[in-house]
Chain A
Amino acid sequence: MSKILMKGNDAVLRAAILAGCRQYFGYPITPASEIAESAAYYMPRAGGTFIQAESEVAAINMVYGAAGAGGRVLTASSSPGISLKQEGVSYAAGAELPSVIININRAGPGLGNIAPEQSDYNQLCKGGGHGNYKTPVLAPNCVQEFVDLVRKAFELAEDYRTPVYLLADGVIGQMMEPVEFPEPVMELPRKDWALYADKESKHNLISSIQLEPNDLEALNVHLQEKYARLQEKEVMVEEYRTEDAEYVFTGFGIVSRILRSAVDDLRKQGMKVGLIRPITLMPFPEKEMAALADRVKSFLCVELNNGQMLQDVKLAIQCRRPVHFYNRMGGNIPTTDEVVQAALSCFKEA
């Protein structure tokens, strides 16, 4: 298909439909509302369902019901709305129900503002709700990747029977870029555990309750094995000009685009700088980070938050190299020059 110039929030919804998603349950919130608006327009045209739920809580529980019924189902929100959904995500993780949840991260805490932040890293990557669960988190940095990753998210969700987050921000959501859409998925295989309201599936049970501690421990062990398998097999990471790098930037999402420009600028000044960008935040590219730590002098982690991925970088390399940190919060995005200056001062120290 030829390329189409499209906004991230609109593109991701249409890509979800192409991925076979036919159910969308959501609640309006800036800056994610365009996804719901696009769903309201396109879902009925594609023979699917769009419901504007009465709350984020209801929306995620509709997702739970549709997922239990075997559908490919999507919801989207922004940070305060994601906080509200966490109860339902925990239940879905416990009942092992696949779904895709998009978070267009806005600035917090509280009502905050609608500008971009990456302050939901912990909320998404570390479980977020109650219980010993985690969810895969994919962080696109351009509209094309937003489109590609929503399909990947559905596949991961079903392969691993888990909710999967796409973590983007207002920039990715509002930005227009050329997109090439993949071929549509026209048929989905039947899930042997789901409820199709027929004789074959009626003995299936969707539940997260396990009264016996031993049974619940077994479920928890099973979940941890699942996360270990994800860590083993599903890490996605991009490295840019790291082959000969002495210093590396790390950052995800929109920040990585700025870092890429900063790498080019610093290279022009003769500094051997590279970039490692986690595409999956959970599972985190631990091995790749550790491998770089063998070769480089120091890291500079740049985030639009108070240093949340920073902790994972330090853990991954077991603090064998200095990990510097530069951040903006509250909805501010650093300029390329700002990052270059930060790099010049901390890489010199190292």
Chain B
Amino acid sequence: MATNKILSKPDAFYENFERSANADKKTTHYCPGCGHGHVHKIMAEALRDFEVADHSVLVSPVGCSVFAYYYFDVGNIQAAHGRAPAVATGVKRTHPHSIVMSYQGDGDLAAIGTSEIIHAANRGEHITVIFINNAIYGMTGGQMAPTTLIDQKSSTSPYGRSAENEGYPIHVAELLNSLQAPVFIERTSLHTPQHINRTRKAIRRALQAQIDKKGFTFVEVLSPCPSGWKLNPVDSMKWIEENMLKNFPLGNLRDRIDETPARERATIELTRDMLLKKLDLLKPESTMPARTTVEERFQDPEILAAGFGGQGIMLLGVAVAEAGMREGYQSSWIPAYGPEMRGGTANCSVRVSEREIGSPMVHNPNILLAFNRPSLEKFEADARPGGVIFYDSSLIDIVPARTDCDIVPIPFTKLADELGNTRIANMVAFGALVGYTNLLNLETCLEALHTVVKRRNLVELNQQAVRKGFEVGQEMRRQAR
């Protein structure tokens, strides 16, 4: 039985490699003496023995093993150069029940994909990464890899790798061992049957850990590349032993599998209403409040509010837009964006309109609210004739020169202070705007604050401010008539 198991082709391999373009559908495309075949076989046997092939996904990299999907009878996805751990992350996060293996060579993983492997490991992705280190770019024809040894010749290090020019071989297992999340990191080799057996054990342990939901597992395998090294297969094994082992010490660097508890993301099943609630979209249907009669010159107004950052200008604008929406108007709010932000003013444009709103950016307001002197100086000239300019007379010591607009000085800040909080000057202004122009119902504005003011315990104070402003606004209007 045991003999049979060793000699049979594991059924996690396809019987015939139909995806291969070669006429021969029985043998792999790997060169004689290449290490990929050993590692593939170890993986396929493990997938069979653990009975996980049906829900496994293999990520093929760029490199000689780009065609790993020819052979493995599992779900297959081929990744861009270096990106296999990111692709594996996407697969695993979509299907937490899947067994995901990312299979990469040294150019793919340790050069162009350095970032992806480090961060997948650091997130502790529940994937198994098999890293084939043969110190050379095999597929592209023997160029220098990040793991190429000092003095090793390759087509792009023809004089041998020099530390001065190319630095030193990267030790990926050791690098990853500096991270907290991985549960298993081991370096093995294929240069003797004993080491192949150790590789087998490491890969099986790593895969089992993933099945047991333990976390990120990583096996680096020193692997022969006779074609890339320009050696015969036997000498290649010797070359690993004599050269690679000195640079890449074998052994387990970390095994925290047993002491790590299984971790599983809870899946959530939501009904429609639960989903809407989670998205903060479940709002009670409300009846449309009555509208006011708006004087023609204030219909479909273009509103600009400006002041210092921190004066609540943005919130004032949002409150107007929210109340407008509640009365069934089209409305828009947009913060100043770009160069207007400079020069000591923060401002926002608000439109409330019966008709579809064209440009949401207000350049010529018919309602201007100025909360500081720079804002008044900057925007006064832009106000539309026949419009209204509100300004905070407690902070602004100049008087607008315009005679073709209503000029409405109101001490927003002083009134807010009298109500006990300087920060509600913006809401005094909101009330004043509405009281003066009759644009919206006071009730709608007060209701709107339940949405606009995020801290519930401050809603009432803000409402007081709106009421106060409303009274003052109405009074100013009476005086203006």
A residues whose Cβ falls under 8 Å from a Cβ of B: 1-5, 14, 17-18, 23, 25, 42, 45-47, 49, 51, 53-55, 57-59, 61-71, 73, 87-88, 91, 95, 115-116, 170-171, 174-178, 181, 183-184, 186, 195-199, 201-209, 211-212, 257-262, 264, 331-333, 335-337
List chain B positions with a Cβ less than 8 A from chain A: 19, 21, 53-57, 59-60, 66, 69, 73-80, 83, 86-95, 97-99, 115-116, 118-119, 123, 267-270, 272, 275-276, 278-281, 283-286, 318, 321-322, 325, 330-335, 337-339, 356-361, 363-364, 451
Enumerate chain A residues within 8 angstroms of B118, measured Cβ to Cβ.
54
A332 to B119, CA, bound (A): 38
Once A5-B325, A91-B80 are accepted as A-B contacts, the answer to whether A197 and B97 lie under 8 Å apart by CB is yes
Q: Are A64 and B76 in contact (CB under 8 A)?
A: no
A149 to B179, CA, bound (A): 42
Q: How far is the CB of A349 from chain B (nearest CB, A)?
A: 25
Give Cα distance in the complex from A176 to B332, angstroms.
6
Let me know if B116 and A54 touch, CB within 8 A. Answer: yes
Main secondary structure of the interface of A (DSSP, over half): mixed
- Cα A204 to Cα B87 in complex, Å, equals 16
Do B333 and A57 touch (CB < 8 A)? no
Interface centre among B19, B77, B95, B119 (most CB of A within 10 A): B77
Q: How far is the CA of A66 from the CA of B125 in the complex (A)?
A: 14
Q: Cβ of B90 and Cβ of A335 under 8 Å apart?
A: no
- B contact residues around A66 at 8 Å (CB): 90-91, 93-94
Inter-chain contact B358/A261, CB cutoff 8 Å: yes
Alpha-carbon distance A332/B73, docked complex (angstroms): 56
Q: List 24 A-B contacts (CB under 8 A).
A: A2-B286, A5-B321, A5-B331, A14-B280, A18-B281, A23-B93, A25-B89, A57-B83, A57-B86, A65-B91, A68-B91, A115-B337, A116-B337, A196-B95, A201-B75, A203-B73, A205-B19, A208-B78, A211-B21, A257-B359, A258-B358, A258-B359, A259-B358, A261-B359
Would B88 and A65 count as touching, CB distance under 8 A?
Answer: yes
A73–B93 Cα gap in the complex (Å)?
11
On chain B, the residues within 8 Å of A62 by CB distance are: 86-87, 89-90, 93
Q: With the chains together, A18 CA to B97 CA distance in Å?
A: 24
- With CB as the reference atom, state the residue of chain A lying closest to B93: A49
Assess the A184–B272 pair: CB atoms within 8 A.
yes
Contact of A186 with B69 at beta-carbon distance under 8 Å, contacts A65-B90, A195-B57 already known: no
Q: Give the complex CA separation of A207 and B76 in angstroms.
A: 8
Q: What are the residues of chain A within 8 A of B283 when measuring CB–CB?
A: 1-2, 4
Chain A residue with Cβ nearest B20: A211
Contact B331 A178, beta carbon cutoff 8 Å: yes
Q: How far is the CB of A260 from chain B (nearest CB, A)?
A: 4
Q: In the docked arrangement, what's the CA distance between A195 and B100, Å?
A: 11
Bound together, the chains give a CA A333 to CA B359 distance in angstroms of 11
**Distance in angstroms between the alpha carbons of A337 and B461 in the assembled complex:** 41
Question: Judging by beta carbons under 8 Å apart, are A88 and B80 in contact?
Answer: yes
Closest 6 A-B residue pairs measured CB to CB?
A65-B90, A261-B358, A197-B98, A47-B268, A61-B86, A66-B90
B119 engages A69 (CB within 8 Å): no
Q: In the complex, are the beta carbons of B87 and A176 less than 8 A apart?
A: no
Report the minimum CB–CB distance from A326 to chain B (whole Å).
15
Closest A residue, CB atoms, query B277: A45
In the complex, what residues of B have CB within 8 A of residue A1's CB?
276, 281, 283
